[in-house]
Amino acid sequence: MTLAGDLRHRGAGGPKVSRRRFEADLVAGKYPPGRPPPGGVLTDTDAEVARLALEMVEAGLRAGSLAISRETVPACRACGHLTGTGDHPCRACGSTGTRARTGLHLVAEPAYGRPALDRPDIHADRHRQPDHLRRTVGDADRRLLLSRTRDHGIDLGPLGLDGLVLDPRAGLHATVLAAARRYRADTAVMTVTENAARHIAAHGRPFREHEGTRLRYALHGRLPYGPSAGLKPLYEAYRATPGAKDGFHEWFLPLFSLRVKSATRPEQLPALFKYYMRARLARPATVDAAVLESVRRSVRAGRTGWITDRRTLATVMAARATGRCRGAEAG
């Protein structure tokens, strides 16, 4: 499997940097300068992620849910990169010739009669479970290839699979669990769109639980990127400070996307900004501890109704301003 990041790394001009550094720079570039994510940056190029992933693979091999077996797969005739099915040029070298290649691979064994994505895998209350998504993902009744040829990733050489890495859809789950291990958490929640969950759930099934730590998906909708001309008059009308504007785009909108799983359209932004500013202007002078604890319980249970309750949101904003809201932030 070749990801967009692999292609960007190959095509990057200027002095070559390591794939690990390139990946870290891509992630860091998503955040404002001088404001890195509080939890740091962790990718499948980090040693602690690789160690955990190999632990999980070895546990799966012992349990029989994973296996190393001889498989015949389509590969590029020119460079040997695994091409998958379909009529398309090799994503590594551009060649169009393929051949069948037989060798040892890591595979996930089928779990007949079990869904690839079940209710406990979704971080949401029972009234907002995406049953349509679970039906789309289907059952875990087919063998999945988990080893790939790729520029970088979690090396499977220690398992005797030289030249192969763990499929990044599985490696992503190991990365999240490594972050949970770093903070000694028993539950890790990964925010994903429904479309992303549909593509990674089956490959991530053997990597969603390890040594008492469980990974769950929190589904979110898509947000519009870039400036919105429709907001400029509202910025002026509300005399919005840079901090207020940043809070809307960087904190509130990601939070709102957890509440509304469909795409948020640009024409919806003015109404959302008005709601956000009214809550901001209604921030209480004293934070109600009971309201804050109720929000924490909602976050732990996957409930999101508090986001569209203006009084509750105002309380959370006040708590954020005083540094009391770390456990109540959900985005």
Residue 2, pLDDT above cutoff 70: no
Place of tokens 């070298």: 93
Name the CATH superfamily, with its identifier, for domain 45-219.
Answer: HUPs (3.40.50.620)
Amino acid at 330: A
- Give the global pTM: 0.85
Check: CB of residue 47 under 8 Å from CB of residue 175: no
Please report, rounded to a whole number, the percentage of residues in the chain having pLDDT higher than 90: 62
Question: Cα torsion for 5, 7, 9, 13, to the nearest 10°?
Answer: -140
Strand partners, 263: none
- Which of left, alpha, beta for 14 (phi over 0: left; psi -120 to 50: alpha)? left
Please report, rounded to a whole number, the percentage of residues in the chain having pLDDT higher than 70: 91
Residue 275, pLDDT above cutoff 70: yes
* CATH 3.40.50.620 domain residues, the chain: 45-219
Amino acid at 41: V
Average pLDDT rounded to a whole number, residues 312-331: 75
Give the distance from CA 165 to its chain's centroid: 20
At 90, is the pLDDT very low, low, confident or very high (cuts 50, 70, 90)? Answer: confident
Q: What is the pLDDT of residue 6?
A: 55
Q: What is the pLDDT of residue 21?
A: 76
